[in-house]
Structure 1
């Protein structure tokens, strides 16, 4: 499922939002090991600025010997209401699976549009 507010540039992904205070679009790369954002008033300009911002970021990483991509361990904490936790455990057990597997399937369904 293609997200409407994501822009892919050279295999890196940026979230795009409109900032009404400055009347410009703002892009922020989300899979980098540091901050790289960019602004423009139109989509073509946003792509150009994104490419320039990414190029500068990657060059800096090469110079400093830093891995540019953020690494994700596959582990994270989630806080949910206790009653939802209890219901999720019941559903997972009824399916004969773990809570982790249930959550992974639900997230996969949500992010992949399943």
Structure 2
């Protein structure tokens, strides 16, 4: 299976191929509602993804519910004791919070 992504209105969708079924499919990523789509062509999949996002936003508006945004901005991670301690010591030595230290490390890793 091949993985890739598309973006529309701030939402990200996966692109997967099922050679056995001769179909493209995916789902909206990084939100809790399960939203799937499929098509036979790349252009069709892009439209199906956009339609799925638009349908989700319309449903939320009709139900007077705030749509989920991908990745709300807070994250609970399990580092293990030794790594957590090492990060806390390094953050203290750099005169910064552990949160800021980890945020900087992630920013450096993803290039933003």
TM-score by length of 2: 0.74
Which ranges in structure 2 are unaligned for 5 or more consecutive residues? none
What count of residue pairs does the alignment treat as equivalent?
A: 110
- Alignment check: 8 A CA contact 2:27 2:36 kept: yes
Cα distance, 1:108 vs. partner? 2.0
- Alignment check: 8 A CA contact 1:36 1:53 kept: yes
Secondary structure, in 3 states, of the residue corresponding to 1:66? Answer: coil
Which ranges in structure 1 are unaligned for 5 or more consecutive residues? none
1:48-87 to structure 2, matched below 5 A, reads 48-70=47-69, 74-87=73-86
Alpha carbon RMSD of aligned pairs, Å?
Answer: 2.6
TM-score by length of 1: 0.73
Corresponding position of 1:29 = 28
Corresponding position of 2:9 = 10
In 2, the alpha carbon distance for the partners of 1:94 and 1:52 equals 50
Following superposition, which runs of at least 4 residues in structure 1 exceed 6 angstroms of deviation?
none
- Alignment check: 8 A CA contact 2:30 2:71 kept: no
In 2, the alpha carbon distance for the partners of 1:83 and 1:36 equals 38
